[in-house]
A and B are shown apart, each in its own frame.
Chain A
Amino acid sequence: MPELRNLTLNFGPQHPAAHGVLRLILEMDGEVIQRADPHIGLLHRATEKLAESKPYNQSIGYMDRLDYMSMMCNEHCYVMAIEKLLGVTVPERAQYIRVMYDEITRILNHLLWLGTHALDVGAMTIFLYAFRERETLIDAYEAVSGSRMHATYYRPGGVYRDLPDFMPQYQTGKFRTEKEASRLNENRQGSLLDYLEDFTDHFPGYVDEYETLLTDNRIWKQRLVDIAIVSPDEAKQLGFTGPMLRGSGIEWDLRKKQPYEVYERMDFDIPIGVNGDCYDRYLVRMEEMRQSNRIIRQCIEWLRENPGPVIAESHKFAPPKRADMKGDMEALIHHFKLFTEGFCLPEGEVYTGIEHPKGEFGIYLVSDGANKPYRVKIRAPGFAHLSTMNDMVKGHMLADVVTVIGTQDIVFGDVDR
């Protein structure tokens, strides 16, 4: 009688469901997982070290590239850490813009999560529907920052510039007729706020569309219900945050519990799950998209009525206006100093955490008084979630591994940093 051994399967890093470069060593008894060992580090770019070797204001762009599905939220946490140590107050309008873009980012992230999660489970149409809506929001990113993904829009003291009064238009050309262009430009006639309001009018309908395809679908429910159940106690012990924690039924949201910026003025609800399985986490995220939509609407309303500065006046950390530099010696010096030396932070240490779409994203900053951080530690939500892979998939089948990867909403940019 030959000795029976478990089947060891090398899952990834080149695997369609690996969400980037996840490598899992799966030990399986038939199709049932006995042990899952995630190997990480294939996308390690030493972001923390890079940030420590550059002036504070030059590392904002690195933050975009951490979790490259929720760019502005990462920036937000980093600039908040700097602001906290500097002790600056951000203009109110900038705070509203940040909250609005945080929620746009949350919808962007959740749409991608929904698309890839559904694709992993086998429903491929949702993926393309989700990308249709993402396109609209990515255009909103582009309108304020000029970049579709890596915005670098948030700066210490505010945001890079005010919201534009007009949207870029589609041009006609060899591949686009006049009629097509005008159809595409239909919602781009007004300002960015009009454009976003138009989106928020339609978006709940789109979420309903996704839910028609998935929520009551028998196969979808069979694949998600009772998969990878995490009890509330376990969820706390495993270091879950964000939708993963709320899916297990714990009402914890930094936007409510430790409000930053203007979240305490916003009217929104926190959805929580009951059973802590993949299906509950799916429902939680779907509802979060609707709530984000509500927050965006409230921000739009306020931003319409309240013009004002969007970045702090002090030129010690915020660049002067381009026009002033032409005539004002002081402004030119400030500009030069800011973009070569940067600025120095007082000695000390600070931790800021924000409610990132994936969970609590934190920046721990130690300053020794120089223009570079002495140490930057990034708390990535995905890292804590991925480390629970073994606990979540043990006893489930191979097909459930991809469901769990989907439900954890893993992005390797922030796991590996």
Chain B
Amino acid sequence: MYELAYDLIIILLKIFAILIPLMTAVAYLTYAERRLIGFMQVRIGPNRVGFFGFRMFGLGQPIADAVKLMFKEIVMPAEANRYLFVIAPILAIAPALAAWAVVPFGDGLVLADINAGLLYILALTSLGVYGVIIAGWASNSKYAFLGAMRSAAQIVSYEIAMGFALVGVLMAAHSLNLREIVLQQSGGFWHWYWLPLLPLFMVYLISGVAETNRAPFDVAEGESEIVAGFHVEYSGMLFAVFFLAEYANIILISMLTVLMFWGGWLSPFEGIPLLGAATAWIPGIFWLVMKTFFFMFCFLWFRATFPRYRYDQIMRLGWKVLIPVTIVWLVVLAVAIVAKLPPWFG
């Protein structure tokens, strides 16, 4: 009995150990986005709100935003379905957080080291779309409805390409366990899967951007077309939850890209005679975070650079380009694995 309670407490502590840094990261990703895009657009970005009277480059901004959103009224549209309206943001954020259960932050640093990790991730990231669809439906607004329809079609199509890209990883690593996948890549920079799986990596990254509804695939929100898409009727904390889910998903997708294609927590200098030994003391989580930062930066960079695709063009890209590319590369990969192509499959 006590043992059970003890286990429960340990698990809860682990969850907090993941969630608190994650939520901080989400908050500061919004800050980083505004600052970075600000610099790209020759303006300054938020630099006023600080702590205790010190400005500190506006680092207090995300906290202030969160507090503001918490105190704002949640406006419920007159004809909205009240239950679904409230459930939708929860459905959006729950999978975005739950997926972190199987993400390893280092060798053994994982909440649940399960063998079907990859499948679990695939299942949970697909669930996020229900939040969007239900939000669009429950709002009883034509704009929200259009956004939900777009989002549903988009995510269904990109899920396939994403799934195929992950099949490639599965074939290469012979495992669905994320820790195993990373360990299979050990041996240095050239052993990571980005090289043999380069097309799959590109497809995964593009689908990841599409999956999170970020520019240039942000048709579900489409600021200039359907105003804010599925969350046009949301305000206050309900809106904030959608917002958190989007950014948590960005971090998740970036980290998964790193784990599956860029060697996870492995050092890029591994196997290089002097440098490898000199940097061996650096903990793996440092490399993991640095690599993840790079992909998060890419998300922001895309947003500042690209125009938005049209809805039908996104579909065409998904079905006619990405899916054929992945299928062709799976065949190439299969041949390489059967031929035991070194250094990856030898």
Contacts and interface: CB of A to CB of B under 8 A. Distances in A.
Contact of B224 (A31, A214, A402): A402
Nearest to B312: A397
A213 B305 contact: yes
Contact of A399 (B143, B219, B306): B219
A221 to B, nearest CB: 10
B223 interface: yes
A122 B308 contact: yes
B222 interface: yes
Contacts of B224: 16-17, 119-122, 402
B44 to A, nearest CB: 11
B142 A7 contact: yes
B319 interface: no
Contact of A402 (B37, B41, B225, B309): B225
A399 B142 contact: no
A31 B311 contact: yes
A contact face: mostly helix, strand, loop, or mixed: helix
Contact of B42 (A120, A129, A214, A398): A129
B195 interface: no
Contacts of B218: 122
Nearest to B216: A219
Contact of B306 (A15, A119, A122, A400): A122
Contact of B313 (A119, A124, A222): A222
B309 A222 contact: yes
A223 interface: yes
A294 B43 CA distance: 29
Contacts of A124: 41, 303-304
Nearest to A32: B312
Interface residues of B, number: 30
**Main secondary structure on chain B at its contact with chain A?**
helix
B308 A132 contact: no
B206 interface: no
Contacts of B308: 121-123, 219, 223, 399
Contacts of B312: 31, 397
Between B218, B225, B305, the greatest number of chain A beta carbons within 10 A of the residue's beta carbon is seen for B225
B219 A128 contact: no
B307 A219 contact: yes
Contacts of A401: 225
A125 B310 contact: no
B103 interface: no
Contacts of A402: 224-225
Contacts of B304: 124-125
Contacts of A68: none
B215 interface: yes
Given A9-B142, A16-B224, A399-B219, A121 B307 contact: yes
B42 A128 contact: yes
B169 interface: no
B200 interface: no
Contacts of B37: 125
A189 interface: no
Interface of B: 37, 40-43, 142-143, 146, 150, 215-216, 218-219, 222-227, 303-313
Interface of A: 7, 9-10, 15-17, 31, 118-125, 128-129, 132, 213-214, 217, 219-220, 222-223, 397-402
16 contacts: A122-B216, A123-B305, A123-B307, A123-B308, A125-B40, A125-B41, A129-B41, A129-B42, A219-B309, A220-B307, A223-B308, A397-B311, A399-B219, A399-B222, A399-B225, A399-B311
Given A16-B223, A121-B224, A122-B223, 6 more contacts: A16-B224, A119-B224, A217-B306, A222-B310, A398-B146, A399-B225
